[in-house]
Amino acid sequence: MQVIPLGATPSQQLSILLGGQNCQIKVYAKTTGVYLNLSVNNAAVVSGSQCRDRVAIVRDAYLGFIGDLAFFDTQGESDPDYTGFGSRCQLVYLEPSDL
């Protein structure tokens, strides 16, 4: 399990190596919640996936992503809110052995 560093801003983009995959992640807040786009080597894996507490984001192995991503509320069971990114709300990469 690897914590992905996020700042407490409503929209952000980062590139990170996860499980040997060159990933591009965009996390953004809307009035209806927090959403995530994930690409590997600039090829979209998931787009506009709504993020929930402790719910896998990719979910399907046929998409070609090794592992999965999920948000965890470290102080309860609330869905992610950008104001808690990096502290209360942790975005985590789950390796296949964690699933």
Number of domains in the chain: 1
Q: What is the pLDDT of residues 17-74, one digit of tens each?
A: 999 999 999 999 999 999 999 999 999 999 999 999 999 999 888 788 999 999 999 9
The half-sphere exposure of 5 on its side-chain side, counting CA atoms within 13 A, is 4
Q: Give the 3-state DSSP-derived string for 22-70, with helices as H, strands as E and coil as C.
A: EEEEEEEEECCEEEEEEEECCEEEEEEEECCECCCCCCCHHHCCCCEEE
Q: Which tops the pLDDT comparison, 75 or 61? A: 75
- Relative to beta strand 33-40, strand 43-50 is antiparallel
* Whole-angstrom distance, CA of residue 25 vs CA of residue 97: 22
Report pLDDT for 1: 87
* Whole-angstrom distance, CA of residue 21 vs CA of residue 36: 17
Give the residue numbers spanning the domain of 68.
2-98
In the chain, what is the greatest distance between 2 CA atoms, to the nearest angstrom?
Answer: 35
Report if pTM > 0.85: yes
